Amino acid sequence: VAETRELRSALPDLESLLVEMIAMVLGETATPTAVPLPDVPLAMARLIIHDEADGSYLGVEMRAENDLAQMLASTLLGEADPSPEDVLDVIAELGNIAAGNVKSLLTGNGRLSLPSPLVVSTAPPVPDGTVRAVANLLGHILELVVMPVEGADVATRWPGFANV
Amino acid sequence: MQALVVDDSRAMRTILTRLMISLGFTVIQAADGAEALALLEGGERPDVALVDWNMPVMDGLTFIKLCRAHPDFRDIVLLMVTTESERSQIVRALAAGAHEYVIKPFTSQMIAEKLEMLGLIAV
């Protein structure tokens, strides 16, 4: 897929992607920031991009303060108190949209996994070479993380298809 | 006019359902291609289907191919609404039988313009 240097050079594009995606999906204005995610529970979704041409993999994660993810789920679904499943669904779809555009931006031709969403108590560590596009939205932080990975773990789900 | 929204994300189904209702459609939903196919086999005949690509169980591309191959379903207008944005993927979807293609994220205007191009609404 992309070398570390290419990932770093893509950071401005990733920041633009994050801001534009928020505006189009949520109708809200996000502002790029250098402020990191606070040490609070996070809603996150992870996807894998597999470049079948060279056998390489990229990990893409959408991470947001869980409070922010709940607010977004409430807005999108029109429900005052969205369920935990709905919060995961919203972060998963944001991750899906971001990862699809990352795939187009960085690989040009790869296979995209389904999102794996979860809530974590603290941000998981990332490998060297990871790039992060961070934005402030409604006073909370969310970030788009793109990282080199060795492969897809066994929990990775791929789209279902049939031989038609 | 009836629309079928096929997407594994409840949030995306909600967004598209609101949009289609605002454009005058009634809406039925499915969470993957297999569910959508079951609706059609059960007698539903939407005028248009908005279909995500990457879904569990049965993806949108497979659903579109099956629709096109079925004599009772081939008149349904098929709009692929997906995050797959490479040119090669767009060509694959259109070759499989999709009438139009919208890349996520989208605006309401983008969807409305596609529906107008397909003769389903007058903007």
Query: Whose CA is closest to A21, among A109, A157, A132, A142?
Result: A142
Query: Is A158 a residue whose pLDDT tops 70?
Result: yes
The tens digit of pLDDT for each residue in B22-51 reads: 999 999 999 999 999 999 999 999 999 999
Please report the pLDDT score of residue A67 as a whole number: 95
Phi, psi dihedrals of residue B3, rounded to the nearest 5°? -120, 145
Q: Is A157 on the interface with B (CB under 8 A)?
A: yes
* Alpha carbon distance A115, A126 (integer Å): 18
Confidence of residue A163 (pLDDT cuts 50, 70, 90): very low
Identify any residues that bridge with B26 across adjacent strands, giving them in sequence order.
B2
CB contact under 8 Å between A76 and B53, yes or no, is: no
Q: How many angstroms separate the first and last alpha carbons of chain A?
A: 29
Please report the pLDDT score of residue A7 as a whole number: 81
pTM of the shown model? 0.93
- The answer to whether the beta carbons of residues B79 and B90 sit under 8 Å apart is no
Q: How far is A86 from chain B (nearest CA, A)?
A: 7
Give all strands of the β-sheet with B26-30 in edge-to-edge order: B26-30, B2-6, B48-51, B77-82, B100-103
The tens digit of pLDDT for each residue in B54-110 reads: 999 999 999 999 999 999 999 999 999 999 988 889 999 999 999 999 999 999 999
CB contact under 8 Å between A101 and B12, yes or no, is: no
Q: How many angstroms separate the first and last alpha carbons of chain B?
A: 15
Per the structure block, which two tokens stand in for B8? 């594994």
CB contact under 8 Å between A160 and B8, yes or no, is: no
The tens digit of pLDDT for each residue in A98-113 reads: 999 999 988 877 899 9
ipTM exceeds 0.90:
yes
